[in-house]
Amino acid sequence: MTWWAILAAGLGCYLLKLAGLSVPARVLARPVVARIADLVPVALLAALVAVQVLAAPSGRALALDARAAALGVAVLLLLARAPFLVVVFGSAASAALLRLL
Amino acid sequence: MVDVDRRTVVRDSLGVAIATGTYGLSFGAVGVASGLDVAQTCVLSLLMFTGASQFALAGVLGAGGSAVSGALTALLLGTRNTLYGLRMAPLLGYRGWQRAVAAHVLIDESTAMAVNRASRSLARTGFWTTGGTIFVLWNLTTLVGAVAGEQLGDPRDLGLDAAVGAAFLALLWPRLASPVARLTAVLAALVAASAVTVTPAGVPVLVAAGVAVLVGALRR
């Protein structure tokens, strides 16, 4: 099942790129469509942050733990304009440290 | 003069490409931490080759979401590449097999380094230098990150479960420039967190996509 998701979504993502290079530009000329398309990645990424950090590992519940503190560290690193890798691994290291304490 | 312009485009493109290509390290580590094996993680980088969608598929599956909701989230995130394609098509002017190859490396960074160039030739230089370099580095570093992540033991002890949230936030950060984007982000996070308690894993993220539709449609 995982392989099917990987192959289908991989092919789908390629076709989305190819479609952009192939269809006439007027399809997305409507301002409403353009605005929504701009906001979709913002909403999805914000939702992924929330679920990744707050959803309890056991299932349908919320939990406030080392992941939330690690996200706070990530915010500080982003505010300090740290590079992507420093943000990701700095945040991971802070969660690992908190769990050791 | 033309050569000076081209050298500048190549140098800038390589700078962006090397910085971006190394993110693959974090994707490799996060992929295996989410329960994918090394081969699955590497095939994602080869076939899908668009970072946010890859992180999303791994993240949703890792959180216990179904394969269908993981794939849908990845596809929804992939729609932004369609928009890049619409802008790039007249700039690159490719047809046939050249267009088919170009589509594979059509991502945030290759678009950013190609738009606003003075000529088609310079746009193509920026596009291929950035896209090609990232493709090679991204796949190499994914493999390194995945193998290292597998050797290192329990991902939770290393804080790698927290790294996934940080990666999504770092991808989101540059998109928060406008007040509308920030409002959308806050609402989407609230909707998704609320949905966690009442829907199966993977669904909350898809529900939150509705926030983008609502905000985009209501705002003038």
Asked if B189 and A93 come within 8 Å (Cβ–Cβ), the reply is no
Q: Answer yes or no: is the ipTM higher than 0.85.
A: yes
- The type of residue at A16 is L
- 């939330």: which residue's tokens? A68
Asked if A84 and B186 come within 8 Å (Cβ–Cβ), the reply is no
Asked if B53 and A23 come within 8 Å (Cβ–Cβ), the reply is no
What is the DSSP-derived secondary structure letter of residue B124? H
- What does the domain layout of chain B look like in residue ranges? 2-158, 176-220
Residue A20 is assigned to a structural domain of this protein: no
Residue B180 sits at the chain A interface (C-beta within 8 Å): yes
Which residue range is the domain that position A43 belongs to? 25-100
pLDDT band at B54 (very low <50, low <70, confident <90, very high): very high
Asked if residue B1 has pLDDT above 60, the reply is no
Report the residue of A4, A11, A33, A51 to disrupt the B interface, i.e. the one with the largest count of B CBs within 10 Å.
A51
A51 or A31: which carries more pLDDT confidence? A51
**Of B44, B80, B85, which is closest to A41 when you measure between CB atoms?**
B80
Cα separation, A21 vs A42, in Å, equals 23
Residue A51 is assigned to a structural domain of this protein: yes
Percent pLDDT > 70 in chain B is: 99
- CB A43 within 8 Å of CB B56: no
Asked if B77 and A47 come within 8 Å (Cβ–Cβ), the reply is no
A84-97 pLDDT tens trace: 889 999 999 999 99
pLDDT band at A32 (very low <50, low <70, confident <90, very high): confident
Asked if residue A1 has pLDDT above 80, the reply is yes
Cα separation, A70 vs A58, in Å, equals 19
Residue A18 is assigned to a structural domain of this protein: no
Cα separation, B167 vs A91, in Å, equals 9
pLDDT band at B220 (very low <50, low <70, confident <90, very high): low
Report the residue of A4, A14, A17 to disrupt the B interface, i.e. the one with the largest count of B CBs within 10 Å.
A17
From the DSSP assignment, how many helices (H) and strands (E) are in chain B?
Answer: 11, 0
- 């500048």: which residue's tokens? B8
Cα separation, B164 vs B147, in Å, equals 17
Q: What's the token pair of residue B128?
A: 């291929």
Going B135 to A14 to B171 to B156, the CA torsion angle's sign is negative
Residues A74-89 as b/e (b if ≥16 CB within 10 A, e otherwise) read beebbeeeeebbebbb
Domain count, chain A: 1
- 């304009």: which residue's tokens? A81
Residue B196 burial (C-beta neighbours within 10 Å; 0-12, 13-18, 19+): buried
Residue A44 is assigned to a structural domain of this protein: yes
